[in-house]
Amino acid sequence: MTEEKNVKYIAKNRKARHDYTIVETIEAGISLLGSEVKSLREGKVTISDAYAEVSGGEIILKNLHISQYKMATRENHDPLRPRRLLLHKREIRKLFAKTEQKGMTLIPLAIYLKGNRVKIELAVAVGRKKYDKRDALAKADAAKKIKQAMKKDY
């Protein structure tokens, strides 16, 4: 992920790292309307149910809920409309090839402002089974206890 000073996170999908094993991440632009950008700047977005799919040579982000901007005109945006992600053709082809493999999907991890542009961190991921989730939690808990024990020794 980018470690620049002008990056301001709007929303993170914490549930994604629990429910999926992340294989690869990529940064993409997102095609938005003006009222959507204003609503995003206020932080009125739900990213947890969103996913992306490749269709017609484009990557479309679906189920991303951006609330309507209350100060907009009567031509306000639809909160759940599909939004196009902005990537190069070769990146789209690469992601399409990966999602064709069994169990692979595209999910957003975070939405953030980079300068004045809205960017999205997209991940190629594999869904975890329930026992995999428990195993991951147990490993994280064990690592946390080891770290605490090491702190107490010093």
Q: Which domains does the chain have, with CATH numbers?
A: 7-128 (2.40.280.10)
Mean pLDDT of 32-40: 85
Q: For the full predicted model, state whether its pTM sits above 0.85.
A: no
Q: What pLDDT is stored for residue 153 in this prediction?
A: 64
If pLDDT is split at 50, 70 and 90, which confidence band does 145 have? Answer: confident
Residue at 13: amino acid letter: N
Tokens of 121: 């961190």
Q: What pLDDT is stored for residue 2 in this prediction?
A: 46
Mean pLDDT of 32-49: 86
Q: What pLDDT is stored for residue 74 in this prediction?
A: 74
Whole-Å CA distances, 23 to 42, 46, 55, 70? 31, 23, 21, 38
38 three-state secondary structure? helix
